[in-house]
Amino acid sequence: MRPTFEILTTDGAARTGRLLTTHGAVETPAFMPVGTYGSVKAMAPEELEGLGAQIVLANTFHLMLRPGADIVHAHQGLHGFMHWQRPILTDSGGFQVFSLRSLRKITEEGVRFRSPIDGSEVRLTPEDSMDVQLKLRSDIAMALDDCTPYPATEAEARASMERSMRWAARSHEHYYGRTTDGGPGEPPGGLFGIVQGGMHHALRLASLESLMGRDWPGLAVGGLAVGESEEERIGVLEALVPHMPADRPRYLMGVGRPEDIIEAVLRGVDLFDCVIPTRHARNGHLFTSTGVINIRNSAHQADVGPLDPACGCYTCRNYSRSYLRHLDRCNEILGSRLNTLHNLHFYLELMRSIRAAIAAGRLAAFARDYLRKRQGSVDAVA
Amino acid sequence: MRPTFEILTTDGAARTGRLLTTHGAVETPAFMPVGTYGSVKAMAPEELEGLGAQIVLANTFHLMLRPGADIVHAHQGLHGFMHWQRPILTDSGGFQVFSLRSLRKITEEGVRFRSPIDGSEVRLTPEDSMDVQLKLRSDIAMALDDCTPYPATEAEARASMERSMRWAARSHEHYYGRTTDGGPGEPPGGLFGIVQGGMHHALRLASLESLMGRDWPGLAVGGLAVGESEEERIGVLEALVPHMPADRPRYLMGVGRPEDIIEAVLRGVDLFDCVIPTRHARNGHLFTSTGVINIRNSAHQADVGPLDPACGCYTCRNYSRSYLRHLDRCNEILGSRLNTLHNLHFYLELMRSIRAAIAAGRLAAFARDYLRKRQGSVDAVA
Q: Is the pLDDT of residue B377 over 60?
A: no
Q: Are A194 and A220 in contact (CB under 8 A)?
A: yes
Residue B255 CA to residue A265 CA, distance in Å, equals 58
* A50 interfaces chain B, CB cutoff of 8 Å: no
Is A91 tagged catalytic? yes
* B10 interfaces chain A, CB cutoff of 8 Å: no
Residue A224 CA to residue A107 CA, distance in Å, equals 23
Q: How many residues does chain A have?
A: 382
* B123 interfaces chain A, CB cutoff of 8 Å: no
Residue A203 CA to residue B111 CA, distance in Å, equals 73
Write the ipTM.
0.97
DSSP state of A330: T
* B298 interfaces chain A, CB cutoff of 8 Å: no
Q: How confident is the model at residue B381 (pLDDT cuts 50, 70, 90)?
A: very low
The Cα of A79 is separated from the nearest Cα of chain B by a number of Å equal to 11
What one-letter code names the amino acid at B134? L
What one-letter code names the amino acid at B105? K
Q: Do A37 and B330 touch (CB under 8 A)?
A: yes
* B107 interfaces chain A, CB cutoff of 8 Å: no
Residue B77 CA to residue A122 CA, distance in Å, equals 55
Residue of B nearest to A85 (CA): B318
Confidence (pLDDT) at A372: 86
Q: How far is CA A278 from CA A33, A352, B132, in A?
A: 8, 18, 36
Q: Do B71 and A301 touch (CB under 8 A)?
A: yes
Q: Write out the DSSP string of B36-60.
A: TTSS-TT--HHHHHHHT---EEE-H
Q: Do B71 and A322 touch (CB under 8 A)?
A: yes
Residue with the bigger pLDDT between A92 and B100: it is A92
**For B163-219, how does the pLDDT look when each residue is reduced to its tens digit (9 = 90+)?**
999 999 999 999 999 999 999 999 999 999 999 999 999 999 999 999 999 999 999
Residue B219 CA to residue B253 CA, distance in Å, equals 10
pTM passes above 0.95: yes
Q: Is the pLDDT of residue B378 over 60?
A: no
- Establish how many alpha carbons lie within 13 A of residue B163's alpha carbon, considering only the half-sphere containing its beta carbon: 19
* Residue to test with chain A: of B39, B65, B73, B329, most A Cβ within 10 A: B39
Taking contacts as CB-CB distances below 8 angstroms, the residues of chain A near B74 are 302, 304, 322
Residue B348 CA to residue B314 CA, distance in Å, equals 14
What is the four-CA torsion angle of A200, A206, A210, A211, rounded to 10 degrees? 50
Neighbour order of strands in the sheet with B4-11: B4-11, B14-21, B24-28
Confidence (pLDDT) at B101: 78
Residue B356 CA to residue B342 CA, distance in Å, equals 21
Residue of A nearest to B43 (CA): A334
Residue A140 CA to residue A25 CA, distance in Å, equals 12
* Rg of chain A on CA atoms, in Å: 20
Q: Are A343 and A275 in contact (CB under 8 A)?
A: no
* Long-range CB contacts for residues B291-295, cutoff 8 Å, separation at least 24: B291/B373, B291/B374, B291/B375, B291/B376, B291/B377, B291/B378, B291/B379, B291/B380, B292/B377, B292/B379, B292/B380, B292/B381, B292/B382, B293/B321, B293/B378, B293/B379, B293/B381, B294/B379, B294/B381, B295/B321, B295/B324, B295/B325, B295/B328, B295/B339
Parallel, antiparallel or unpaired: strands B24-28 and B14-21: antiparallel
Q: Chains A and B: how many Cβ contacts under 8 Å?
A: 102
Bridge-partner residues for A10, per DSSP? Answer: A15
User: SS3 for A20?
Assistant: strand
**For B297-318, how does the pLDDT look when each residue is reduced to its tens digit (9 = 90+)?**
999 999 999 999 999 999 999 9
Q: Is the dihedral of CA B101, B103, B106, B111 positive or negative?
A: negative
Of A71, A83, A333, the CB nearest to B42: A333
* Residue to test with chain B: of A79, A83, A344, most B Cβ within 10 A: A83
Q: How confident is the model at residue B151 (pLDDT cuts 50, 70, 90)?
A: very high
Q: Is the dihedral of CA B221, B224, B229, B230 positive or negative?
A: positive
Q: How confident is the model at residue B274 (pLDDT cuts 50, 70, 90)?
A: very high
Q: Are B281 and B42 in contact (CB under 8 A)?
A: yes
What one-letter code names the amino acid at B136? L
pLDDT in tens, chain A (382 residues): 999 999 999 999 999 999 999 999 999 999 999 999 999 999 999 999 999 999 999 999 999 999 999 999 999 999 999 999 999 999 999 999 888 877 899 999 999 999 999 999 999 999 999 999 999 999 999 999 999 999 999 999 999 999 999 999 999 999 999 999 999 999 999 999 999 999 999 999 999 999 999 999 999 999 999 999 999 999 999 999 999 999 999 999 999 999 999 999 999 999 999 999 999 999 999 999 999 999 999 999 999 999 999 999 999 999 999 999 999 999 999 999 999 999 999 999 999 999 999 999 999 999 999 988 876 554 544 4
Q: Do B332 and A39 touch (CB under 8 A)?
A: yes
Residues of B catalogued as catalytic? 91, 273
* B296 interfaces chain A, CB cutoff of 8 Å: no
Residue B226 CA to residue B205 CA, distance in Å, equals 19
Residue A203 CA to residue A194 CA, distance in Å, equals 13
**Which residues, 6 or more positions from B165, have their beta carbon under 8 angstroms from its beta carbon?**
B196, B207, B210, B211
Q: Do A66 and B337 touch (CB under 8 A)?
A: no
Q: Is the pLDDT of residue B11 over 70?
A: yes
Average pLDDT, chain B: 96
What percent of chain B is predicted at pLDDT more than 90? 93
Read off the pLDDT of each residue in B283-297 and give the average, rounded to a whole number.
96
**For B205-261, how does the pLDDT look when each residue is reduced to its tens digit (9 = 90+)?**
999 999 999 999 999 999 999 999 999 999 999 999 999 999 999 999 999 999 999
* B289 interfaces chain A, CB cutoff of 8 Å: no
Continuous segment of H or E residues that includes residue B70: helix B69-74
Parallel, antiparallel or unpaired: strands B56-58 and A111-114: unpaired
Phi, psi at B375, each rounded to 5°: -70, -15
Confidence (pLDDT) at A380: 45
Q: Write out the DSSP string of A112-158.
A: EEE-TTT--EEEE-HHHHHHHHHHHT-SEEE-------SS--HHHHH
Q: How many residues does chain B have?
A: 382
Confidence (pLDDT) at B380: 44
What one-letter code names the amino acid at A155? A
User: SS3 for B365?
Assistant: helix
**Which residues, 6 or more positions from A231, have their beta carbon under 8 angstroms from its beta carbon?**
none
Residue B205 CA to residue B207 CA, distance in Å, equals 5
Q: Are A363 and A354 in contact (CB under 8 A)?
A: yes
Confidence (pLDDT) at B371: 87
Taking contacts as CB-CB distances below 8 angstroms, the residues of chain A near B325 are 67
